[in-house]
């Protein structure tokens, strides 16, 4: 904790960064803190309970636009940051990433190449709960899956917390806000809620870091992150793990194999 | 047989291969099911996945998506991109319990008039056996403010 | 105020009779660890144990999506079918907490201001609120800081307060409440001699709302909004779970080109599109301005224009927020604001 605070103060003091996106103590769980002064840096914490994906703030122009930012990152946030870099949403030199070692010590990444290498070499933290959800839902007959998902998603009231919490949802104008053509009905109703989630997850295909921030953000506790988790599995099964050579849906391989096209 | 269910099928096809193929079916005087309405696109790469959902919401019982065989795309790679998209989209729809048996994907070239007739006939027969896609239409028809539906939705699932 | 007592065993009989009398019961139900207001088929499903439901009960009068009218093009004009209030059911909202009951006041203030809102008004006329005092609270509750209390009867037609585990003190507040109890008088007993205060949860006073409101008067240009809203993600969760938030959007549901419905659905001042003009100009272009609007609307504009505050201290926004925008914490910060 102290190592983080003193490092951040040093970086802020020397002008190496203008703001540090980290965590502070929250009401129930740690919450995000954008620290720009030594006083604020003194509130920073960073341990294994800090799981929210802070990469979401790095594309917020009103907060970090034109600034150099430091960020405390979980493994999944690191993967998000790598993908944002691949999509030219972040600039090398404008972001300094800090992770935690398995022992809980601060682990700075000097270059983004180091970060990428780390993400590639470290296996993702396991997701046993999410895996179990997918297994259970896959095992249902199709009619039951339909009942399950329309039942859950009919409750959605379209607050778009899932979108707001997602680091990869950085569009300034989302598909739900486009009305020529109006792909999605903007009000909350079962089918338009299902369509919204289908769109969200399709747009994230191969880009999603599978961090689960969408599900964690849902105020109604709907398991929307499970759809994203399933998509991550589909991508890996169909095309292998995503690489930095373009996202899966903007690239192709003539030898892609499917079994359903006549 | 007037009581038999006649499925409504919407076909999204590319201009260069399948549309021309369907044309050939006609000029070859091959008879095929009249349940299908064809919508022509420049390329399978242009067929947004939302169009399929809109088709179901609008009352289609089945959908055909068809274009040039791999390596034959007029724009070189539109169908390769489309193929990737359908691979993921189909898996995703299946995970949500949307009936993927109602979506037929095919490659039909400009020379395959007979194949087009076969694809359509097969799809119509399959969807006829499945019956109307009323689950989807019912969910899509929901316009809250319709008191009954609103209340049902609020009701405790038993 | 008339007081009575109802044993737990009779409570269900009473609700069942009310239901059989043609009223639907809208009450908290716990499913899969989550408690929400639902239309209940059986009174056995009702949860009495939760601290707070994820959503408020406002949907009973202000549904998240509602058809306002339909139109159809006809030769020589357009045929309109106006809002149809005939099918609105008579509803008893049961088991809502005093903070939720109190919130129907600010809602009525907004929807009743100037030209009354027909759908809201028609629905409210058919609603009876049977509230339940809180015997539990959590660290995000702050009703006592905004002139409420876990046992306040303000806004309720009937208020129940648990007396031990065997029954409830029944306070009949309005005529509408009396209409619900009188036909079933045999189920009720004489009120016991209890000190109601002792039966309630203890919700600490977190800030002085008077001081906050005085402080807000000069705070429009303050830096505090930027600082507080830095972590806000700009979703609509707080507004949608809020029992007093009334912002809505009007949308069109065309059926072909010749007919369609006009729809009203929930909206939130926290969304970036909320104030976006057709010209492209957005008077609230950044999140700090939207956060400021949210608080000023509730604690400054509404008290001034409608003589009612837009917050009842239920704490739902803080529970729903993905990044822990703890409302009472932010308000206490404003209390001590040096302008």
Task: Look at residue B20 and tell me if it is in a domain.
Answer: yes
Burial of C323 (0-12, 13-18, 19+ CB in 10 A): buried
Average pLDDT, chain C: 92
**Closest residue in B to C253 (Cα–Cα):** B143
Task: Look at residue B141 and tell me if it is in a domain.
Answer: no
Task: Look at residue B149 and tell me if it is in a domain.
Answer: no
What ipTM was reported for this prediction?
0.92
Q: How confident is the model at residue B142 (pLDDT cuts 50, 70, 90)?
A: low
- Domain count for chain B: 1
With beta carbons under 8 A apart, name residues in chain B contacting A184.
50
In this model, does residue A5 exceed pLDDT 50? yes
> Structure tokens of C47?
């949860």
With beta carbons under 8 A apart, name residues in chain B contacting C24.
151
**Closest residue in C to A219 (Cα–Cα):** C320
Q: What is the pLDDT of residue C100?
A: 96
The chains found to touch B (3+ Cβ pairs under 8 angstroms) are A, C
Query: What is the domain range of residue B95?
Result: 9-132
**Closest residue in B to C251 (Cα–Cα):** B143
Once rounded to an integer, what is the mean pLDDT over residues B64-77? 93
8 Å CB contact of B150 and C63 = yes
Q: What is the pLDDT of residue B31?
A: 93
Task: Look at residue B153 and tell me if it is in a domain.
Answer: no
Q: What is the pLDDT of residue C267?
A: 95
Once rounded to an integer, what is the mean pLDDT over residues C20-48? 87
In this model, does residue B86 exceed pLDDT 80? yes
List C-alpha distances in Å: A205 to A161, A209, C221: 19, 10, 42
Whether C262 has its CB under 8 Å from any CB of chain B: the answer is no
Once rounded to an integer, what is the mean pLDDT over residues C233-240? 95
Q: What is the pLDDT of residue C153?
A: 95
8 Å CB contact of C38 and B156 = yes
Query: Which pLDDT tens digit goes with each residue over A52-111?
Result: 999 999 999 888 888 999 999 999 999 999 999 999 999 888 999 999 998 888 999 988
The chains found to touch A (3+ Cβ pairs under 8 angstroms) are B, C
Query: Which pLDDT tens digit goes with each residue over C100-125?
Result: 999 999 999 999 998 999 999 999 99
Share of chain B above pLDDT 90, in %: 80
Q: What is the pLDDT of residue A258?
A: 87
Mutate to test the interface with B, among A252, A253, A257, A259 (most CBs of B within 10 A): A252
Q: What is the pLDDT of residue B158?
A: 36
In this model, does residue B78 exceed pLDDT 80? yes
- What is the β-pairing status of strands C127-132 and C91-96? parallel
Of B117-121, C37-41, C134-138, the range with the lowest mean pLDDT is C37-41
8 Å CB contact of C324 and A216 = no
With beta carbons under 8 A apart, name residues in chain A contacting C253.
185
Of A161 and B4, the structure prediction assigns the larger pLDDT to: A161
C234: phi then psi, degrees, rounded to nearest 5: 80, 25
List C-alpha distances in Å: B90 to A201, B42, B140: 13, 22, 19
Once rounded to an integer, what is the mean pLDDT over residues C201-206? 95
Q: Residue B87 and residue B89: Cα distance in Å, rounded?
A: 6
With beta carbons under 8 A apart, name residues in chain B contacting A144.
97
Q: How confident is the model at residue B148 (pLDDT cuts 50, 70, 90)?
A: low
Query: In three state form, how does the secondary structure of chain A look?
Result: CHHHHHHHHHHHHHCCCCEEEEEECCCCCCEEEEECCHHHHCCEECCCCCCCCHHHHHHCHHHHCCCCEEEECCHHHHHHHHHHHHCCCCCCCCEEEEEECCCCCEEEECCHHHHHHHHHHCCCCCCHHHHHHHHHHHHCCHHHHHHHHHHHHCCCCCCCHHHHCCCCCCCCCCHHHCCCCCCCCCCCCHHHHHHHHHHHHHHCCCCCCCCCHHHHHCCCCCCHHHHHHHHHHHHHHHHCCCCCCCCHHHCCCCCCCCCCEC
Once rounded to an integer, what is the mean pLDDT over residues C297-326? 95
Query: Which pLDDT tens digit goes with each residue over A206-251?
Result: 999 999 999 999 999 999 999 999 999 999 999 988 888 888 999 9
Task: Look at residue B51 and tell me if it is in a domain.
Answer: yes
Task: Look at residue B111 and tell me if it is in a domain.
Answer: yes
Query: Which pLDDT tens digit goes with each residue over A114-169?
Result: 999 999 999 999 999 999 999 999 999 999 999 999 989 988 999 999 999 999 99
Share of chain A above pLDDT 90, in %: 74
8 Å CB contact of B145 and C66 = yes
Task: Look at residue B54 and tell me if it is in a domain.
Answer: yes
In this model, does residue B145 exceed pLDDT 70? no
Q: Which of C233, C251, C318 sits opposite A27 (nearest CB)?
A: C318
8 Å CB contact of C268 and A186 = no
Chain B closest-CA separation from residue A149 CA (Å): 6
CB < 8 Å from C in window 109-148 of B: 143-148
In this model, does residue A41 exceed pLDDT 70? yes
Cβ proximity of C78 and C72 under 8 Å: yes
CB < 8 Å from C in window 55-114 of B: none
Once rounded to an integer, what is the mean pLDDT over residues A186-204? 93
> Structure tokens of C75?
């030769």
The full set of domain ranges for chain A reads 2-121, 128-250
With beta carbons under 8 A apart, name residues in chain B contacting A149.
96-97
- Give Cβ neighbours of residue C223 (< 8 Å, ≥ 6 apart): none
8 Å CB contact of B91 and A154 = no
In this model, does residue B147 exceed pLDDT 60? no
> Structure tokens of C108?
């009525």
8 Å CB contact of A256 and B83 = yes
**Closest residue in B to A184 (Cα–Cα):** B50
Share of chain C above pLDDT 70, in %: 99
Q: What is the pLDDT of residue B153?
A: 54
Per-residue b/e over C164-199, b at no fewer than 16 CB within 10 Å? eeebbbbbbbbeebeebbeebeebbeeeeeeeeeeb
Query: Which pLDDT tens digit goes with each residue over B15-43?
Result: 999 999 999 999 999 999 999 999 999 99
Residue the block writes with tokens 């088709």: B55
- Give Cβ neighbours of residue A7 (< 8 Å, ≥ 6 apart): A98, A106, A108
User: CB pairs below 8 Å between A and C: how many?
Assistant: 97
Q: What is the pLDDT of residue C44?
A: 84
Task: Look at residue B98 and tell me if it is in a domain.
Answer: yes
Q: How confident is the model at residue B83 (pLDDT cuts 50, 70, 90)?
A: very high
Q: Residue C328 and residue B29: Cα distance in Å, rounded?
A: 76
Share of chain C above pLDDT 90, in %: 79
In this model, does residue B156 exceed pLDDT 60? no
8 Å CB contact of B84 and A230 = no
Q: What is the pLDDT of residue B144?
A: 39
Q: What is the pLDDT of residue B143?
A: 58
**Closest residue in B to C30 (Cα–Cα):** B156
């Amino acid at each position: 904790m102290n190592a983080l605070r003193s490092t951040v103060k040093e970086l802020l003091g020397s002008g190496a960064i203008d703001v540090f996106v980290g965590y502070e103590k929250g009401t129930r769980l740690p919450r995000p803190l954008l620290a720009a002064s030594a006083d604020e840096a003194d509130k920073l914490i960073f341990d294994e309970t800090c799981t929210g994906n802070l990469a979401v703030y790095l594309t917020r122009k009103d907060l970090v636009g034109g600034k150099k930012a430091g960020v405390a990152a979980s493994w999944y946030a690191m993967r998000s940051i790598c993908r944002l870099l691949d999509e030219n949403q972040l600039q090398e030199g404008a972001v300094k990433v800090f992770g935690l070692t398995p022992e809980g010590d601060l682990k700075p990444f000097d270059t983004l190449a180091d970060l990428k290498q780390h993400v590639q070499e470290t296996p993702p933290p396991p997701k046993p709960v999410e895996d179990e959800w997918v297994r259970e839902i896959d095992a249902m007959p199709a009619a039951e899956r339909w009942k399950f998902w329309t039942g859950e998603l009919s409750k959605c009231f379209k607050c778009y917390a899932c979108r707001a919490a997602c680091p990869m949802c950085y569009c300034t104008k989302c598909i739900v806000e486009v009305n020529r053509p109006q792909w999605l009905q903007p009000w909350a109703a079962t089918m338009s809620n299902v369509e919204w989630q289908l769109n969200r997850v399709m747009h994230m295909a191969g880009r999603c870091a599978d961090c689960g921030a969408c599900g964690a953000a849902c105020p109604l506790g709907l398991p929307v992150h499970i759809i994203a988790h399933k998509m991550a599995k589909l991508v890996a099964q169909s095309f292998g793990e995503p690489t930095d050579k373009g996202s899966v849906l903007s690239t192709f391989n003539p030898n892609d194999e499917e079994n359903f096209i006549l | 047989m007037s009581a038999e269910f006649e499925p409504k099928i919407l076909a999204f096809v590319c201009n260069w291969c399948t549309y021309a193929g369907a044309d050939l079916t006609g000029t070859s005087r091959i008879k095929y099911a009249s349940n299908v309405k064809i919508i022509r696109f420049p390329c399978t790469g242009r067929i947004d996945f939302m169009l399929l959902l809109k088709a179901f919401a609008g009352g289609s019982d089945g959908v055909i998506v068809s274009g040039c065989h791999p390596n034959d795309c007029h724009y070189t790679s539109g169908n390769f991109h489309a193929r990737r998209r359908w691979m993921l989209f189909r898996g995703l729809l299946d995970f949500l319990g949307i009936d993927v048996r109602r979506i037929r994907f095919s490659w039909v070239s400009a020379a395959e008039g007979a194949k087009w007739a076969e694809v359509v006939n097969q799809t119509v027969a399959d969807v006829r056996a499945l019956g109307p896609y009323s689950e989807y239409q019912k969910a899509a028809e929901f316009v809250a403010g319709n008191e009954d539906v609103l209340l049902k939705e609020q009701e405790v699932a038993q | 105020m008339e007081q009575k007592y109802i044993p737990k065993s009779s409570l269900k009989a009473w609700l069942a009779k009310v239901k059989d009398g043609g009223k639907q019961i809208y009450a908290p139900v716990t499913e899969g660890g989550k408690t929400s207001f639902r239309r209940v088929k059986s009174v056995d499903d009702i949860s009495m144990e939760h601290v707070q439901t994820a959503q408020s009960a406002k949907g009973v009068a202000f549904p998240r999506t509602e058809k306002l009218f339909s139109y159809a093009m006809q030769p020589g004009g357009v045929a309109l079918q106006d809002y149809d209030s005939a099918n609105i059911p008579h509803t008893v909202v049961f088991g809502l907490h005093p903070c939720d009951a109190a919130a129907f006041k600010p809602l009525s203030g907004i929807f009743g201001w100037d030209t009354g809102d027909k759908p809201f008004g028609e629905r409210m006329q058919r609603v009876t609120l049977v509230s339940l005092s809180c015997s539990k609270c959590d660290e995000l509750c702050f009703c006592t800081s905004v002139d409420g209390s876990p046992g306040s009867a303000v806004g309720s037609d009937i208020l129940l307060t648990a007396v031990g585990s065997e029954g409830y003190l029944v306070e009949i507040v309005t005529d509408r409440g009396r209409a619900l109890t009188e036909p079933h008088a045999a189920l009720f007993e004489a009120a016991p001699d209890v000190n109601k205060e002792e039966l309630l949860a203890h919700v600490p006073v977190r800030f002085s709302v008077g001081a906050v409101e005085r402080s807000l008067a000069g705070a429009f240009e303050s830096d505090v909004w930027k600082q507080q809203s830095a972590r806000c993600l700009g979703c609509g969760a707080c507004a949608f779970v809020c029992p007093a938030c009334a912002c809505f959007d009007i949308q069109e549901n065309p059926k072909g080109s010749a007919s369609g419905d006009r729809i009203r659905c929930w909206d939130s001042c926290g969304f970036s599109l909320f104030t976006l003009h057709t010209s492209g100009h957005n008077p609230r272009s950044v999140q700090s301005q939207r956060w400021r609007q949210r608080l000023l609307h509730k604690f400054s504009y509404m008290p001034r224009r409608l003589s009612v505050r837009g917050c009842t201290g239920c704490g739902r926004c803080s529970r729903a927020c993905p990044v822990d925008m703890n409302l009472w914490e932010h308000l206490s910060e404003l209390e001590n604001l040096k302008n």
